[in-house]
Amino acid sequence: MFTTRIRFVLILLFLVIGIVLHIQKGISSAWYLYATSLILLFTHFAFGNVWAAFSKLQKGKIIEAEILINQIKRPEWLVKQNRTYYHFIKGMIALQQKNLTEGETQLKIAADRGLRSNNDNALALLNLAHICFLEKRQEDAQSYLQKARSFNPDDLMIKQKIEEMGKLLTQQNT
């Protein structure tokens, strides 16, 4: 949103100043402005707004997170870690919108690639277990829940939800 606009304004500004300096003083006075423009452009495509969207998601600002993540037009150009969190965010947003199929697809990608923290991995797997539970795929739900437990999350809310899901699965099997 705002950060993307600032980034593009800075790129344009550095390019214009670089061109003016290049014309007036030569390339030796302008090369660093060209380099800065290229670095800013590279970071836009390699990192995108993933962390800003992740921050909004953590704060429960789903609509703002969705706006930010949808600004990324080429997720395949993101660096590996950011691409993984891109799929995680897309999956969590899809679940909030009750789109279980899309949520499962995106969260599977994120879980398979591996997220940065144990809590994030456990949360992705817990949500996959929940989707399987809702779709009455008990074996898959149990498998995802076991994997979620294996990450030993230290977030109290995630621990509690894992235990609740375990109880639900146990009740449904009996």
Number of H helices and E strands in the chain, helices first, is 9, 0
Residues 157, 123: Cα–Cα separation, whole Å: 10
CATH number of 49-173: 1.25.40.10
What per-residue confidence (pLDDT) applies to 174? 63
Residue with tokens 């995630």: 158
Mean pLDDT of the region 7-31: 92
pLDDT exceeding 90 applies to what percent of the chain?
Answer: 83
Tokens of 40: 């800013």
- Dump pLDDT digits (tens) for 58-85: 999 999 999 999 999 999 999 999 999 9
pLDDT exceeding 70 applies to what percent of the chain?
Answer: 97
Please report, for the chain, the start and end positions of each structural domain, with discontinuous segments joined by +: 1-47, 49-173
Distance (Å) of CA 36 to CA 31, 45, 111 = 9, 15, 35
Alpha carbon 50 to its chain centroid, in Å, reads 5
Are the beta carbons of 14 and 37 closer than 8 angstroms? yes
What per-residue confidence (pLDDT) applies to 133? 94
